[in-house]
Structure 1
């Protein structure tokens, strides 16, 4: 996924009210940008990090700038716009870079499903005469938490994430394929692991999902100020 315009660079000052971030431009001017991320963004938005932001042409927006990337003190790029994870996952599937998800003719997004009123991020199928014998349900999770050389998900307790795992287990029991795709959108992450020290129930549900046949895969992204692209599979460690 290429950014439609060249991102602009600034210094991150602080994040507050979850959706707002203050930046300082190279000129010294300080301003506020919108941040499309409801998570804690642990180790992703520290004061002094380099920030990369986009600018909207929409005159109705209160904040015309949006935070897209940060760069930590080790030089790692982090995509903090959570909407990007689904976009780059769809792109990687369509371009054949996620080998486990090839061979399907139809790709749909945000399709309602499940017993708990959910929407699946990506639904793959081979439709014939309007029907498919088996669907492939793909739930995408953005991974940006890096601690001690290890990528973790989630970065906070996630009831929504727990629900999605239960839904995938149910889908697998119905005879369909169920896949949890971790998109590592932090260039320092080379392995993904459930964050049992943050959400023990989520980690337990991951093991339960695997025991029921839910597939879990992780892919690492190449990130720079021009693009974000899933490029290669990395290990997923659930031990």
Structure 2
């Protein structure tokens, strides 16, 4: 996935009100839209280099969108959570995830489950069970290559694990796909220290037949691509 135009570059001043960030760029202070509602732990330290896209839509209040951070170690982090599904959609289309290749049809945002959810991707093909794929963006890095999801307690993430368990028990394939958007992360685990219930549900889900996979993206101001699997330690 290439960025549609060259990203601007600046220094982060602060993130505030969840959806806004101020940066020093182009010799002035700019306010960016922050497309990430999470805590962004380890993704948004003042003084870090940030990269942003610019929209030509005159209706937008804030023309610039925060896309990437670069930390002091030189790691790139994608903070735009919508990019995870875009990267997975591209990889599915190009058959680059072997375990999810060979399906004839890929649909996005399909309603399913007893808790009124939408699955990120539903894969189907003749003679194969439907495959439900839930994508999670992983950016929490706590050193030594260890990445965790979620970065805080998440009732929504817990719900999605329960929904996937229902799919597996009904005879479908159910896949939790962790999309690693931090170049310093080399392995992924459920964040038991932040959301123990989520971690327990993941272990229960794996025992029930839910598959856990993680794929890491190469990230630069020019673009991003899912390129390699990394271990999931449940």
TM-score, normalised to structure 1, is 0.96
Deviation at 1:96, TM superposition (A): 2.0
Distance (whole Å) between structure 1 residues aligned to residue 143 and residue 78 of structure 2:
19
| Cα distance per residue 1:64-86 (max 9 Å; x no partner) | 10000010000000000000000
> For residue 146 of structure 1, what is the aligned residue in structure 2?
141
Distance (whole Å) between structure 2 residues aligned to residue 213 and residue 180 of structure 1:
11
> For residue 42 of structure 1, what is the aligned residue in structure 2?
41
SS at match of 1:169: helix
> For residue 10 of structure 2, what is the aligned residue in structure 1?
10
How many residues are aligned here?
233
> For residue 102 of structure 2, what is the aligned residue in structure 1?
103
TM-score, normalised to structure 2, is 0.98
Contact 1:55 1:64 in 2 (8 A): yes
Deviation at 1:92, TM superposition (A): 1.0
Distance (whole Å) between structure 1 residues aligned to residue 48 and residue 121 of structure 2:
33
> For residue 78 of structure 1, what is the aligned residue in structure 2?
77
SS at match of 1:53: strand
> For residue 211 of structure 1, what is the aligned residue in structure 2?
207
CA RMSD of aligned residues (A): 0.9
Distance (whole Å) between structure 2 residues aligned to residue 3 and residue 110 of structure 1:
23
* 1:1-239 to 2 correspondences below 5 Å: 1-27=1-27, 29-126=28-125, 134-149=129-144, 150-238=146-234
Contact 1:210 1:216 in 2 (8 A): yes
Distance (whole Å) between structure 1 residues aligned to residue 143 and residue 202 of structure 2:
22
Deviation at 1:8, TM superposition (A): 0.7
Distance (whole Å) between structure 2 residues aligned to residue 24 and residue 159 of structure 1:
36
Contact 2:95 2:102 in 1 (8 A): no
User: Structure 1 regions of 5+ residues with no counterpart?
Assistant: none
Q: Please identify runs of 4+ aligned residues in structure 1 that moved more than 2 A.
A: none
Distance (whole Å) between structure 2 residues aligned to residue 234 and residue 94 of structure 1:
20
Distance (whole Å) between structure 1 residues aligned to residue 74 and residue 59 of structure 2:
35
Distance (whole Å) between structure 2 residues aligned to residue 221 and residue 80 of structure 1:
13
Distance (whole Å) between structure 1 residues aligned to residue 153 and residue 22 of structure 2:
26
Distance (whole Å) between structure 2 residues aligned to residue 23 and residue 133 of structure 1:
50
Distance (whole Å) between structure 2 residues aligned to residue 197 and residue 133 of structure 1:
38
Contact 1:97 1:232 in 2 (8 A): no
